[in-house]
Amino acid sequence: METKEKNIVLGSGKYRYEPQDNWLNLPSHVELGEVAAVAVDDRDRVYVFNRGEHPMVVLDRDGNFLSSWGHDLFGKAHGLHIGPDQSIYCTDEGTHTVCKCTLDGKLLMRIGTPNQPAARMSGKPFNRCTHTALAPNGDIYVSDGYGNAAVHKYNPDGKLLFSWGTSGSGRGEFNLPHNIHCDADGFVHVADRENHRIQIFDGNGRYETQWNNLHRPSALYMSSGPCPLCFVGEIGPYMSHIRDNPNLGPRISILSKGEVVGRLNSHNGPGSGLGQFTSPHGIAVDSRGDLYVGEVTTSSWPSLFPGRPLPKPLNSLRKLRRLPEE
């Protein structure tokens, strides 16, 4: 369902956001594909990892185009993380690799061998890896989700230390580990998407706890500090008999210590219009608290709206401006 309504506000109380309309200013030769991931550096520049001809598009916070890179580096964009040293980790599902790059696109390190995936469900890196996170001490964690059910831990130089996880629904098992993030204490949060939960481990892969009451958590972003907020992009149901059920997404939920403190529901249901979501696949937050949401609308649309044509233009990157508390 598409809407042209203005002055839309998502959320309530402390967590209110105003969707920004027509904020992107791209040159005519640059068109975003599906936006799998988004990240913000310490100067509030926005890095848009997408599945178009310009896989990494760099914007200022007002949506003005700055540069693009990665044209010969990536196969299918999936995950993005900027480390404390402002290097950027690009998780590429298409080539089964993680590339550590400078912010202007110079390759510093590659983990994995391009186009040589591990055997499916072997537990060995990588088979269609999904996201990368850094621990406070610089260790690297990679979720390996579409062709595996594992998390792999590396030292800062890219040496494999160990892996954990297998397919299943028990503790420490995964059914599509789709995203990953480390908090300030080094605990590893894994969006276990098709198990409808976020599992939390210590740095050695030992299960600690899990956060439930989520629907297919796909995107994951955690703020810094000792009591971080966790922004979770939840995607909607695809099965026909529950597709139109309320309170299942697509939406963004905001958690504190595992409890929902805010929720941004898609305005008037899923769709491509202002204030709507189809599949929040990547989330980043800038220094002012504004949200940037990447969506894989081309992939999600046929499941949400079977038989309906894909909308044009494709709204694959959204900005939500943080509003003062009511």
| Dihedral class, residue 121 (left if φ above 0, else alpha if ψ from -120 to 50, else beta) | left
pLDDT digits (tens, 9 = 90+) for 139-166: 999 999 999 999 999 999 999 999 999 9
One-letter amino acid at 145 equals G
Q: For 129-138, what is the mean pLDDT?
A: 97
Examine the pLDDT at 255 and tell me if it is beyond 70.
Answer: yes
Q: How far is CA 229 from CA 179, 186, 256, 262, in A?
A: 16, 15, 5, 10
pLDDT of residue 244: 87
Question: For residue 9, is pLDDT > 50?
Answer: yes
Tell me the percentage of the chain whose pLDDT exceeds 70. 98
Amino acid 254 reads: I
Average pLDDT over residues 250-269: 96
Query: Does residue 301 sit in helix, strand or coil?
Result: helix
Neighbour-count burial of 281, counting CB atoms closer than 10 A to its CB (0-12 exposed, 13-18 middle, 19+ buried)? buried
1.10.260.40, 2.40.10.500, 1.10.1530.10, 3.40.1280.10: CATH of 10-116+213-323 = 2.40.10.500
- Virtual torsion, Cα 197, 235, 114, 30, nearest 10 deg: -150
User: What tens digit of pLDDT does each residue of 49-107 get?
Assistant: 999 999 999 999 999 999 999 999 999 999 999 999 999 999 999 999 999 999 999 99
pLDDT in tens, 13-48: 999 999 999 999 999 999 999 999 999 999 999 999
pLDDT confidence tier of residue 229, bands split at 50, 70 and 90: very high
3-state DSSP call for residue 103? coil
DSSP designation for 303: H
End-to-end CA distance of the chain: 28
pLDDT exceeds 70 at position 5: no
Average of per-residue pLDDT across 125-152: 98
Residue type, 100: K
pLDDT number for residue 6: 63
Predicted structure pTM score? 0.96
Average pLDDT over residues 288-305: 96
- Once rounded to an integer, what is the mean pLDDT over residues 308-312? 91
Whether 277 has a pLDDT exceeding 50, the answer reads yes
Residue 326: pLDDT band with limits 50, 70, 90: confident
Three-state secondary-structure class, residue 107: strand
- What pLDDT, on the 0 to 100 scale, is given for residue 2? 46
Report the candidate in 234, 281, 291, 223 with the shortest Cα–Cα distance to residue 257. Answer: 223
pLDDT of residue 35: 98
